[in-house]
Amino acid sequence: MKVAAAAYALDVLESWQAYEDKLAAWVAEAAGAGAELLVFPEYGAMELATLAGPEVAGDLEGSLHAVADRLARADAVHQRLAADYGVHILAASGPAAGNPRPVNRARLITPEGAVGVQDKQIMTRFEREPWDVAPGGPLRIFETDLGRIGVLICYDAEFPLLARALAEADIILVPSCTDALSGYWRVRIGAMARALEGQCITVMSSLVGKADWSEAVDITTGAGGIFGPPDRGFPPSGVLAVGEIGQCGWTYAQIDLQAIAAVRRDGDVLNRAHWEDQPSRVQSVTTIPLRAERP
């Protein structure tokens, strides 16, 4: 199948219809290129806050609740587009109502209208400290017509034990939002490492460009990318496709889940199967002094 990873720029929305038109254009373009799985980035839903006016959109607390109040309506738009074009869509994540604080939530939507919810697990310093976004519900694996799909939102992709919990997934989606190249590379390196360890496909999408109206996502950089294990049937680098950093648009790649099954069964290496060899090898780490004694 073909997958599409977005490098998505936020807009100031003049009306709800402007949002629907924008999203419809993005989905139509990817579906027209033959994509069956479309991945939008972390915090791409923040542009919904502009519908509440510039003062709310520019306020950290106010923007959280403005987006959360509109998320269900946004999901209905995604459901209609998924049905119209026969595609699966990972909707751009955004704040959703939590107890007691908002969580960062992505939603996987099928052509039949089913919605799978995945919340971010580990919060960045910005999310923890000034913004006070909370960790949400548990990790999930979604059984779909396209295969078993998991989601690691941005920072989550930098933690191997989270990905290991999704070891049965064929595809891990990594929506991201980073303000600097260092952040982009942290998430990209994490996504590539998770593809290596889990012998799976990872799909990274990014928020890009300036949104001067927001204190939270005022400047972002990144690119779409699709990665696999550097093994038989895959590029030596593991990179199936990668977009140009900062360039808005879709990045596409053909993926083959039979190739994933093949490397898991009989790859040059078997990282996924050999994961369990680690605990016995790290139980008795010792520190050996090798410093020369100084007079």
Strands (E) located in 169-276: 171-176, 201-207, 209-210, 219-220, 225-227, 239-242, 249-254
What digits encode the pLDDT tens for the residues 260-294?
A: 999 999 999 999 999 999 999 988 889 999 988 77
What digits encode the pLDDT tens for the residues 14-34?
A: 999 999 999 999 999 999 999
Which pLDDT score is estimated for 159? Answer: 98
Within its chain, how far is the Cα of 5 from the centroid? Answer: 9
**Residue 182 counted as domain residue:** yes
Residue 295 has pLDDT above 90, yes or no: no
**Residue 287 counted as domain residue:** no
Which pLDDT score is estimated for 283? Answer: 85
**Residue 292 counted as domain residue:** no
Residue 154 has pLDDT above 80, yes or no: yes
Instruction: Please list, in sequence order, all residues whose beta carbon lies within 8 angstroms of the beta carbon of residue 64, skipping any fewer than 6 positions away.
Output: 95, 102, 131, 133
Which pLDDT score is estimated for 142? Answer: 98
CATH of the domain at 141: 3.60.110.10
**Residue 120 counted as domain residue:** yes
Residue 155 has pLDDT above 90, yes or no: yes
Q: Name 210's bridge partners.
A: 219
Angle between helices 60-85 and 16-32 (to 10 degrees): 50
Please answer whether residues 7 and 208 qualify as being in contact, where contact means their C-beta atoms are separated by less than 8 angstroms: yes
**Residue 33 counted as domain residue:** yes
The total number of structural domains that make up the chain: 1
Residue range(s) defining the domain that contains residue 58: 2-281
Averaged pLDDT for residues 115-141: 97
Rounded Cα distance, 15 and 13, in Å: 6
Which pLDDT score is estimated for 31? Answer: 98
Averaged pLDDT for residues 93-112: 97
What digits encode the pLDDT tens for the residues 207-241?
A: 999 999 999 999 999 999 999 999 999 999 999 99
Confidence of residue 131 (pLDDT cuts 50, 70, 90): very high
Please answer whether residues 110 and 83 qualify as being in contact, where contact means their C-beta atoms are separated by less than 8 angstroms: no
Which pLDDT score is estimated for 292? Answer: 85
Please answer whether residues 79 and 97 qualify as being in contact, where contact means their C-beta atoms are separated by less than 8 angstroms: no
**Residue 293 counted as domain residue:** no
The Cα diameter of the chain in Å comes to 79
Which pLDDT score is estimated for 7? Answer: 98
Which pLDDT score is estimated for 291? Answer: 87
Please answer whether residues 46 and 214 qualify as being in contact, where contact means their C-beta atoms are separated by less than 8 angstroms: yes
Please identify which residue in the block is written with the tokens 């049937």: 233
Residue 101 has pLDDT above 80, yes or no: yes
Averaged pLDDT for residues 152-165: 98
Tell which residue, 226, 37, 232, has the closest CA to residue 147: 37
- To the nearest whole number, what is the mean pLDDT of the chain? 97
**Residue 294 counted as domain residue:** no
**Residue 247 counted as domain residue:** yes
Averaged pLDDT for residues 41-59: 98
